[in-house]
Copies of this chain bind each other. A is one copy, B any other.
Amino acid sequence: MSMNGAEAFVATLRACGVDTCFANPGTSEMQLVAAVDRQDGMRAVLGLFEGVVTGAADGYARMAGKPAVTLLHLGPGLANGLANLHNARRAASPVINMVGDHATYHLHYNAPLTSDAAGVARPMSDWVRVAHSPRDLAQAGAEAHLAAMTYPGQVATVIVPADHAWSEGSAPVAPRVLPASPRAPAEAVTEAAEALRHAEGPCALFLGGRALRADALDLAGRIAAATGAKLVAETFPARVERGAGRVAVERLPYFPEQGADYLAAYRTIVFCGCEPPVAFFAYPGKPSELAPPEARLVRLASLREDAHAALADLAAVLEAPTEPAGRAVRAVPELADPERLDPLSIGAVVADLMPDNAIVTDEGLTASATLYAATAGAAPHDWLVITGGAIGQGLPLATGAAVACPDRRVIALQADGSGLYTCQALWTMARERLDVTVIVLNNASYAILNIELMRVGVRNAGPKALSMLSLADPVPDWCSLARGFGMGSEQVRDVSSLRAALAGALSRKGPFLIEAML
């Protein structure tokens, strides 16, 4: 059966196991829209803005362990999705982008929407491919899937010329065989074992990427039981499986002085699933590297090497005990002031009410560390963090996670300033009736920037500077925004109200927004 290029491309992706398309199409993608429409087993989810689409693909990938495909409108549409592709790439999430472009013969006319789509894609993609023909489009789909699934995951972008999409004579291509994930070298395991066994002074196991899943943390906990190593997670992990009964791991603090202080005591640090930590930003006269200069740094497995396997090998070499150290116990923080709404009390309420197997997305920024610590003893859950610092990722991430896991509850902990970048995600939650409860922490401020302004040495900031860091005048009203996007909402100003609102939201189907006024 002859297919046009778009149909063969979409059929190839479906054969590769892709079953979800987050879409924001335009005219040049109409054949792709039609192909998704006709493809059995391919769900289409519309986003009102491309940053919603790409952030949702990231959230989906983190939870599903496989890529969704995005549908984006030429270079400018892709551009609107780049920031969350940056985050997805930093999360090592598998994502496939299909980006329409003008018909090949039309490009040289320089029509108004003409741009260098591949050039737009490159800075935020691990892999970019421009299709050469209708037949090649299907081939590009299979290759994109292979690229996206390259351990632990990559952002793969296919540029789809409109004439390749609409021309007949193509056919689906068989999925590529996915290679096994690369193993860390045996020498790395031996060196890590030796370093931990003979550590002079405190030692730590610094974990990132796939090393933060429950099974890998269980191995890490066994290694800790064998060696006394402290378990530390990277500051912005893509996904931590945590909560009561699971091996707990603290996150390295965000500010570089605090991060360096945290690590200062360790003389041996073994890294698995990530690289040694560096300052998020540079500051005048401050070092970029956070591990103490005198510490011995040992790479057990990089981000691109199988973290679980490396931990299993290390546990075996160490003959680690079966029972891991450091399981979290069920606990909820006590509050000094039982009604004061702040990150700690919000975290405590969430920890108390969170159902089993929930998914938490965390774009809490200045509140994030407190929220994370307060929920250490909650029911078992997944905790997803903004990975690349490109704010506006939380609400789309929650959207995608909910699409990936329709049987699980999603709680989105969202700072106000960053939430406004992609507030359109609320509409997709409403349309798809996703079980997402959004808790907006409204402090009417880019709070982090007020801190950073001082940190970089700016003194006596004037009203003009402060106006650039404030969301007051007017304070955005999130309940009205939720209503505008078709979602129910409630504003709360004390802990009892938050508790009642959250309990209510978690007891109902569909999305709900709680605006917590700090």
Give the interface of A toward B (CB within 8 A): 23, 25-28, 30-31, 33-34, 36-38, 44, 46, 48-49, 51, 71, 75-77, 79-80, 82-83, 86, 90, 102-103, 105-106, 109-113, 115-116, 119-120, 122-124, 162-163, 166, 236, 275, 278-282, 284, 288-289, 387-390, 392, 417, 420-421, 423-424, 427, 430-431, 448-449, 452-453, 455-458, 461-462, 464-465, 467-469, 471, 473-486
For the complex, give the distance between the alpha carbons of A46 and B49 in Å. Answer: 21
Whether the pair B464, A278 counts as a contact (CB closer than 8 A) is no
With beta carbons under 8 angstroms apart, the residue of B76, B275, B280 that contacts A83 is: B76
Q: List 12 A-B contacts (CB under 8 A).
A: A23-B468, A37-B464, A49-B421, A77-B390, A109-B289, A110-B275, A111-B279, A113-B281, A113-B389, A423-B424, A480-B484, A483-B484
Q: Which residues of B contact A110 (CB under 8 A)?
A: 275, 278
Whether the pair A474, B486 counts as a contact (CB closer than 8 A) is yes
Whether the pair B484, A392 counts as a contact (CB closer than 8 A) is no
Q: Which residues of B contact A483 (CB under 8 A)?
A: 477, 480, 484
For A86, the closest partner residue in chain B by CB is B76
Given that A26-B449, A484-B481 are contacting pairs, would A421 and B80 also be in contact in the complex, using a CB cutoff of 8 Å?
Answer: yes
Whether the pair B282, A162 counts as a contact (CB closer than 8 A) is yes
For A44, the closest partner residue in chain B by CB is B464
For the complex, give the distance between the alpha carbons of A467 and B71 in Å. Answer: 14
For the complex, give the distance between the alpha carbons of A480 and B488 in Å. Answer: 12
With beta carbons under 8 angstroms apart, the residue of B76, B278, B462 that contacts A390 is: B76
Whether the pair A27, B452 counts as a contact (CB closer than 8 A) is yes
Q: Which residues of B contact A116 (CB under 8 A)?
A: 122-123
For the complex, give the distance between the alpha carbons of A124 and B30 in Å. Answer: 25
For the complex, give the distance between the alpha carbons of A478 and B112 in Å. Answer: 29
Shortest 8 CB-CB contacts between residues of A and residues of B: A474-B486, A481-B484, A76-B390, A37-B465, A480-B484, A79-B82, A106-B282, A103-B282
Q: Which residues of B contact A279 (CB under 8 A)?
A: 106, 109, 111
- Count this chain's copies in the assembly: 2
Whether the pair B80, A392 counts as a contact (CB closer than 8 A) is yes
Whether the pair A465, B36 counts as a contact (CB closer than 8 A) is yes
Whether the pair B115, A124 counts as a contact (CB closer than 8 A) is yes
Minimum distance in angstroms from A495 CB to a CB of chain B: 25
Given that A76-B388, A80-B421, A483-B477 are contacting pairs, would A163 and B282 also be in contact in the complex, using a CB cutoff of 8 Å?
Answer: yes
Q: Which residues of B contact A476 (CB under 8 A)?
A: 48, 427, 484-486
Q: Which residues of B contact A33 (CB under 8 A)?
A: 453, 458, 461, 465, 468-469
For the complex, give the distance between the alpha carbons of A495 and B208 in Å. Answer: 60
Tell me which of A33, A49, A106, A113 has the highest count of chain B C-beta atoms within 10 A of its own C-beta: A33
For A30, the closest partner residue in chain B by CB is B456
For the complex, give the distance between the alpha carbons of A22 and B208 in Å. Answer: 37
For the complex, give the distance between the alpha carbons of A240 and B477 in Å. Answer: 37
Whether the pair A123, B112 counts as a contact (CB closer than 8 A) is no
For the complex, give the distance between the alpha carbons of A113 and B116 in Å. Answer: 23
Given that A424-B420, A474-B427, A485-B474 are contacting pairs, would A387 and B112 also be in contact in the complex, using a CB cutoff of 8 Å?
Answer: yes
Minimum distance in angstroms from A154 CB to a CB of chain B: 16
Minimum distance in angstroms from A353 CB to a CB of chain B: 26
Whether the pair B464, A36 counts as a contact (CB closer than 8 A) is yes
Whether the pair B82, A468 counts as a contact (CB closer than 8 A) is no
Minimum distance in angstroms from A155 CB to a CB of chain B: 12
Q: Which residues of B contact A162 (CB under 8 A)?
A: 281-282, 456
Q: Which residues of B contact A455 (CB under 8 A)?
A: 27, 30
Q: Which residues of B contact A486 (CB under 8 A)?
A: 474-477
Q: Which residues of B contact A449 (CB under 8 A)?
A: 25-27, 30
Minimum distance in angstroms from A44 CB to a CB of chain B: 5
For the complex, give the distance between the alpha carbons of A44 and B470 in Å. Answer: 12
Minimum distance in angstroms from A168 CB to a CB of chain B: 10
For A456, the closest partner residue in chain B by CB is B30
Given that A27-B452, A83-B76, A288-B109 are contacting pairs, would A420 and B123 also be in contact in the complex, using a CB cutoff of 8 Å?
Answer: no
Given that A468-B44, A481-B481 are contacting pairs, would A111 and B80 also be in contact in the complex, using a CB cutoff of 8 Å?
Answer: no
Whether the pair B112, A388 counts as a contact (CB closer than 8 A) is yes
Whether the pair A431, B473 counts as a contact (CB closer than 8 A) is yes
Knowing that A27-B452, A37-B464 are A-B contacts, what are 19 other residue pairs whose CB atoms are under 8 Å apart, sorted by A's residue number?
A25-B468, A26-B452, A34-B458, A48-B417, A49-B421, A79-B83, A80-B80, A102-B281, A105-B282, A109-B279, A110-B278, A112-B280, A162-B281, A476-B484, A476-B486, A478-B484, A481-B484, A482-B484, A483-B484
